[in-house]
Amino acid sequence: MSAPITARLARELAAVVDQLRRATVQVRTRGAGIGAGVLWHAGDGSRALVITNAHVARGNRTTIELSDGTVASARAVARDPKRDLAALEFAADRDLAAAVGREAPPLEVGELVIALGHPGGLVGAATLGIIHAGSERDGRTPRWIQADVRLAPGFSGGPLADAQGRLIGINTMVRGGLALAVPAATIDAWLRRSRALVSS
């Protein structure tokens, strides 16, 4: 790879990471460490929704810190321990930059991905890797996206995105040296079901 191409790629990735940081929050629960979350829906400037892991947002009340340092109290509006998902809602006094999901094309093994989190108190840390497995088969969403990307405590609940910064999943755990993320399509379907149950 020539130097100009390498330099351009580095600039592009830095811009993508900066964009992802604006959609990534810190999630704090009393008595637990700091995890990450993703601004899923920015609302109309009054309420915002964050998706994180259930093991990060323990209990019904958490504290959210945005990328600009703004702190807000959040409450859990949906929780699924089996999928390790939690949806948190908080009051927003302005429009926020929510994550942008990837709709197409399907993920390819070997595709470059980026994970963000807050390991060891380091805010907005980024790590790069590649897709190991987890592409759609027969039109069905896989249970996990598996990525060869290095995660540490503090990345849980944070975004896994493609090289263009489009969200593909929420980082959840490491198994067998691979990072496992809940696919964004699974989270969308879970949120629709959760809201239907709440409104019924």
Annotated catalytic residues are 55, 84, 156
The two structure tokens encoding residue 98: 């929510």
DSSP character string of 87-108: EEEEE-SS------B--SS---
Q: Is the peptide bond before 4 cis (omega within 30 degrees of 0)?
A: no
Q: In the chain, where do the E strands start and end?
A: 24-28, 34-41, 47-52, 61-65, 71-80, 85-91, 112-117, 125-133, 145-148, 159-162, 167-175, 178-183
Contacts of 163 (CB under 8 A, 6+ apart): 12, 13, 16, 111, 112, 113, 114
Distance CA 19, CA 163 (A): 11
Burial of 89 (0-12, 13-18, 19+ CB in 10 A): middle
Distance CA 80, CA 38 (A): 16
